[in-house]
Amino acid sequence: MNFEELKNIKKVIIFIENEKIEGELIEINKWGKMIISVPPRTKIIPVELGKRGEVFFEKDNKKYFVSGKIFSQGVERVVVLPETDILNERRKNERLETDFIPVKLVGKISLFHKEEINGNILNISLSGAKVETSMPLKEGVFYDFQTTFFIKKKPYSFSAKCKLKFMKKIRNLYLNGVEFIEIDPLSFEILNKYIKELKHELGKDTLNY
């Protein structure tokens, strides 16, 4: 699918820093630059410029999304500059934006060679994460996903096995979507608690705005 095929799309959903914004696509060019109308009371758009976010939409009963930079154009419009192609949305669990959480990915490339890649977690769900790295992850390789979550200011080690679902290069960085394929019960409980804490903090921020 190319960007020009989206001209008949109207309803879209923007996710930026855990805020969900319903909008209407009013213009798109062949390079994917979008102008989207948003409610005038949208709180994050007028003050947060150039933030990375995602635009979700449906076409022919299938879900898709595009990642890119989001800029305000007044209080009722935003401009999206895509940094990825149009990607199929196959995620089953809600993902939440995180602070840049360090993560180590260790993959067995061959019988005698392991690859270690350091990166930062950008968002996470019960089924996967988006990770920013300076080196690309490899398709068909299972990685040990190792990080530490802070829950109520206490550190909890988390590990899982994951595999690459999609990857996009942006300048000298790589955005990697990974799917968790094996998590032990303790790590799953830690992940579940961490996501609940993220949602709780998001709720507090909304109430205090």
pLDDT tens profile 150-200: 999 999 999 999 999 989 888 889 999 999 999 888 899 999 999 988 887
Q: What is the pLDDT of residue 60?
A: 82
Token code pair at residue 157:
């080690």
Q: What is the pLDDT of residue 119?
A: 96
Confidence of residue 209 (pLDDT cuts 50, 70, 90): very low
Question: Higher pLDDT residue, 97 or 25?
Answer: 25
Q: What is the pLDDT of residue 64?
A: 83
Same domain as 193, residue 106: yes
| Section 17-27 average pLDDT | 82
Instruction: Give dist(CA 20, CA 208) in Å, integer.
Output: 17
Same domain as 164, residue 75: no
| Beta carbons of 33 and 80 less than 8 angstroms apart | yes
Q: What is the pLDDT of residue 204?
A: 41
pLDDT at 206 over 60: no
- Give the distance, in angstroms, between the CA of residue 161 and the centroid of all CA atoms in the same chain: 19
| Beta carbons of 136 and 174 less than 8 angstroms apart | yes
* Closest C-alpha among 123, 131, 130 to residue 195: 123
If residue 203 lies in a helix (H) or strand (E), which one and from where to where?
helix 185-208
| Beta carbons of 109 and 141 less than 8 angstroms apart | yes
Token code pair at residue 176:
């990697």
If residue 19 lies in a helix (H) or strand (E), which one and from where to where?
strand 19-28
CATH for 200 = 2.40.10.220
pLDDT tens profile 108-128: 887 788 899 999 999 999 889
CATH for 23 = 2.30.110.10
CA R_g for the chain: 18
CA of 173: how far to CAs of 34, 62, 63, 86, 118, in Å? Answer: 23, 29, 26, 19, 12
Q: What is the pLDDT of residue 147?
A: 97
pTM of the entire structure?
0.58
DSSP structure string for 126-168: SSEEEEEESSPPPTT--EEEEEEEEETTEEEEEEEEEEEEEEE
Q: What is the pLDDT of residue 5?
A: 81
Question: Higher pLDDT residue, 88 or 59?
Answer: 59
Question: Higher pLDDT residue, 134 or 39?
Answer: 134
Range of the domain at 50: 3-88
Question: Which of 37, 63, 88 is a domain's end point?
Answer: 88
- Give the distance, in angstroms, between the CA of residue 173 and the centroid of all CA atoms in the same chain: 15
Instruction: Give dist(CA 111, CA 27) in Å, integer.
Output: 51
Q: What is the pLDDT of residue 146?
A: 97
pLDDT at 36 over 50: yes
Q: What is the pLDDT of residue 45?
A: 60
Q: Determine the straight-line distance between the first and last CA of the chain, rounded to whole angstroms.
A: 39
The mean predicted confidence, pLDDT, of the chain is 84
Same domain as 102, residue 127: yes
| Section 90-108 average pLDDT | 82
Same domain as 33, residue 66: yes
Same domain as 103, residue 196: yes
